[in-house]
Amino acid sequence: MACFKGFFKKSKSGGGSSKKSRPGKITSNPFLNFLRKFRQEHLGWPQKKVAMEGAKLWCSMTLQQRREYYDQACKIRRKRKCNPGKLTNNPFLNYLRVFRRKHCKWNQARIAIQGAKCWCRLNEKQRRKFYKQARRRSTNNSRNRCH
């Protein structure tokens, strides 16, 4: 218990300059990416003031100045959109994972419709790969279950 003595006490250093802020993650919202950086530059300010002043500065910025934050947001959107998901026990869904990876700019409805059409056109040899994945997945799941 002696190890934790004084662990939860607040430090008595009065200087606001020692404050640190976690950088935070890059989001798909360009304004929030800007605000994250603005907050790091103004650590001593209260959150409300940071939000108000950051919003004023954002509104006064030109499109060229905002471009950096729009690019960050766009990269994150693309990264999230192309996430194929986990392997399943269903061979068709495993095929859709591969199909989604190839066509990551398409919306979900188009991926489902076109993916189903392409699945129907596959011959048995081409489908076998996805059936094997599903079979492997189902046998792994049954081994890990407690009975």
Reported as a single tens digit per residue, the pLDDT across 95-132 is 988 888 888 778 889 999 999 999 999 999 998 988 88
Q: Is residue 128 part of a domain?
A: yes
Query: Is the domain of 72 the same as that of 91?
Result: no
* Residues 97 and 84: beta-carbon distance below 8 Å: yes
Q: Based on the domain organization, do 59 and 89 belong to the same domain?
A: no
In a domain, 16, yes or no: no
Q: Which residues of 11-49 are buried (b: 16+ CB within 10 A; e: fewer)?
A: eeeeeeeeeeeeeeeebbebbebbbbebbeeeeebeeee
* Count of domains for the chain: 2
- Are 101 and 54 part of one and the same domain? no
Least confident of 5-19, 87-101, 111-125, 127-141: 5-19
Domain assignment present for residue 113? The answer is yes
Domain housing 104: 84-139
- Domain contains 12: no
Q: With bands split at pLDDT 50, 70 and 90, how would you rate the model's confidence at 2?
A: very low
